[in-house]
Structure 1
């Protein structure tokens, strides 16, 4: 109607045939419907196939709200000066970070999804990111309590309080010495050592996560600590052999170099490396501190939490795949933590009972006693090591299959975009 009034005002003396033609054109447009794809560059509409993140065919969102064409002008994605639709949407407020996230996690080939995403204002985009994060994190939550984490949760963020913490660190030192003795690259051992150090250095953030009840921080601490414990044990199982030394009539520790490549390709080791990188760049701390602060200020509901922790949501989204890999692995392994520590204890005993430079050996009788202990340790060690190595490969295969199955793209109806939603964040 606005169009007709302007034409009547500017062309009072125009032949009535003009208005008749306009009326005919409008009727034809109504008959074709409001879902027609426009490609006239003068109107700012573009082919969605021309973008890595396709824009909707109708950028003003008629497909999203099903409004008739004559009312769509109010939803043009530009800041409005007056009126009830005073908001900026689409490209006006869409950051590159938001585009990257929806490209990775959302089904942008779905017309309804991409159209709705391009018609969200800033608050709605933040809500969408929070909802997406919650949905992906829920997959972790569903599995986190299904496997044994030993005493890790009781330490509440301080890894040094683990009953076997000193043994864990001593095992890493022994492994480092063995790798050096056989002139093997120590990087795999160093990565695990760095991860343990990073967890210890982040004790302030992790302990505050327990105090403020930030679930994401607690899950990260527990899973990455367990990943370090398990990785040390898997490295022992895959790389260490306890074999007879013909020169000394006893047993000695040797390095199986073929096992080193297995460690480097293992799912846990790969994510330990990612964890170390995230610690180095500050992503871990930058993701957790805003969540802790938001919880400490008692923000309730999604809207208040988004405002307080909006900067953390993209970082949390980036870290979720790392945590998911580790959780899915342990869900598939279902191994008791005590087994991991058993093989570490065997390594320490093996190292303590090496015949060379052993202060306990003074006589031939002492030597025979040590050798008998070596044999007993070797029997226990090989039994645990063989079992761990087989179960680790099986668990990794199962976890990889399950991860691929759950890594499907989300559609717009799978997430919430309403900033007034009362659904609080899981993390």
Structure 2
């Protein structure tokens, strides 16, 4: 496949783009300009949680297109209010701020923490990923991503993830907040230990330290519950969402308890496009659809992880299979080579760091599609180990 001169030169080189020109998506499949079909187990990096062009979402967005595309947040927007009510009804939070992405949601959370507490200090954890704007990048404890951008925002402390020694440091520091992912997606699909989280929550609640949970990748059904923290038996003070919230329409959200949200008054924060009528329409229907799929997500997760573990028993190149719901990681020596070979055979997956194959099927993936993926993956591992 050849790229045109304009494609090669007019878009900034912020991505190492793969040799696919995506033209169409339908359900669990993506199609390129030549009509080649790919089984898409990336879901737009956990964004198209209902697959491509889900009919119910498409219908609601089409209806909204005939009414209103955009207006100022200085006015009341009915679909935005409906979405806020839906999210608060389905969670332990009281108020929502809408924006356009996960990094913006995390920026809003950082600002709210500082505004509410009057303090700068926030603890995050090694290998975390919270975004690429300056504040969210400062929260991201990956020095390689921060290189070349000068001084990071002051006030962030990075402690080891899942290590109990970190808890004593947090108790001693008494920061304004602790910000964390319950499954580190970009950091290698690493799940938080439940006992570690239980002790972290206890320390934070005893010391008036806010619990900020980044559910940008884990939220909206991806881990088998609508929000991953439901599986850890605690209520965060602040939660951030994006990715799967809008089925591909750009939308992010920061949710907070009322006592904390009141720190934001008029003019404290804003977003021109946040909670846009189109994105809100997509999100309302997405949340409703995903909420009805959670049993299917868990049964599919059980099946896939069991089969992947069975594959690992027969292939020494797999050192571990881990994950929660349909956010699954397979640890190998060099993930990129497997991703390339899978793509060559019509299956799309991602990496999560250099050694983890990240598997993110749509939440409504069929059993037949899951078996198609497993069949191709098994073939790829056989080919790699035989050195063909």
Q: Which has the higher strand share?
A: 2
Please state which band the TM-score falls in when normalised by the shorter chain. under 0.3
Q: Which has the higher helix share?
A: 1
Report the structure number with the largest CA radius of gyration: 1
Q: TM-score, normalised by structure 1?
A: 0.23
Q: TM-score, normalised by structure 2?
A: 0.24
